Chains A and B, each alone.
Chain A
């Protein structure tokens, strides 16, 4: 088993935190995982990209070569990385932030607003991705989220990661292309 995931957006969206949570959850579930990141010199804005490779074997090259899943939380991220996927790869974009044809458009931001705050869109996305790649049990993913967020935001983040999972499940595998 090997899964390559690329998440892109702009600085401040929690793209890198989302990658960290996925990678850490995978190691907690007994897999090998590497998370890498690249970002510009700005602390907010600018392009941010997180990559996660999850494998049952040791991982040599740590970067994503042919992503199984690309998630774009920004138009610029989609424009730059949206085409570069494996043949059977999946491209997910945020319904509110990215306009694109022939991809799966998911209401991460809208769901986050329904849960309570737009800021947890990345955690909604983590819940969705976790269910989609189906490698890490949800309870492991949820506890990893809770270990990586500021104290006092546990309830909001728990709701967010569950809402993301439910979004995937209710979409019957997410095959509801836009």
Chain B
């Protein structure tokens, strides 16, 4: 059954198409406009407003919101809801994201479409609850154990909280994989004007339903690098779901090396092979520059400020903003760095994505970092200083 958004009803609940809204609230709007019909979560600063907004809005659309006992249960509820046919998500911050790692791996292995919003705050541990950070960027990629691929997006504005959360729901369904929206306490609590999409801009991509009849349907059968058809529970098809290595029927096949290899390679390749298609970057380049910035999320706003200041001083500098962070847009970053001597990576951590950039460039350019932790976002002047004097070593 094709899913359509009841746009008129949704907008009655969301209110005016133009609003001065907070990033967390915008994520909730993006989820609802992305067809979300289930939310489970556990409150945590600075992500609580996502849950609060969902708790107010979603029941008015006839859908359920569950406050769970913790973050492990939150993602588990989301995974269960997804198998029951829902477009489901949760939202959390660092400590909760750590607890969700097991569920993320389970969702990868069982190919469960789900969205997780991480409004990053300063860690490790409970750290600085009310302060923004970008310290979970490598955990987003490798936090759960075992080989897997992940899709992650990084909004740099409140508008992008709407747009990328919407996109996350479609990608989760299409690839049957967890999709992470890696925002932060600054974007999450920032307010800007947003414009919600018009009815003709709404498109809901759905998981591919079974093309076979019940009995002939094989739940995890798919060609290498492709996504299997998905029958939701209660639709008359037999499905067995396990985090154990499983055969095409979904039944455990844990001592079969060939089976494991085929399954996990497919889970990885279905995303890795589509890196170009999943790549979203914004490039601001000019002739003759020798230095570039690779940024993402809130630090991209600092970087854009640095570009403005540097150019006003007559300096040449290029800027690539990662909108999709994983699968890492290696080719786009390599193309951007072509002809540049130095790449500066500003982050609210002590160096995370800078390592991924360095690996992608394979020595083509020197990678330097501008690192800041403690709560304040990076002033543009700090990036300009790194442009002139060099940044910290990666």
Contacts and interface: CB of A to CB of B under 8 A. Distances in A.
B258 to A, nearest CB: 52
Contacts of A62: 186, 190, 192, 298, 301, 377
Contact of A37 (B20, B189, B379): B189
B15 to A, nearest CB: 11
Contacts of B379: 61, 63, 65
Interface in B291-334: 298, 301-302, 304-305, 308
Interface residues of A, number: 20
B190 A61 contact: no
Contacts, number: 59
B136 interface: no
A60 interface: yes
Contacts of A39: 130
B385 interface: no
Given A60-B305, A62-B301, A27 B193 contact: yes
Interface stretch (A28-36, A94-102, A104-112, A149-157): A28-36
B377 A63 contact: yes
A interface: dominant SS: mixed
Nearest to B308: A60
Max chain B C-beta neighbours (<10 A), residue from A27, A36, A39, A60: A60
B191 interface: yes
A40 interface: yes
Given A38-B131, A41-B129, A61-B304, 20 more contacts: A23-B20, A27-B193, A28-B20, A34-B192, A35-B192, A36-B191, A38-B130, A41-B130, A60-B301, A60-B302, A60-B305, A61-B301, A61-B302, A61-B379, A61-B380, A62-B186, A62-B190, A62-B301, A63-B376, A65-B379
A35 B190 contact: yes
A104 B376 CA distance: 28
Contact of B20 (A33, A38, A41, A63): A33
A20 interface: yes
B302 A38 contact: no
B186 A32 contact: no
A28 B377 CA distance: 27
A3 to B, nearest CB: 16
A61 B381 CA distance: 11
Contact of A35 (B191, B380, B381): B191
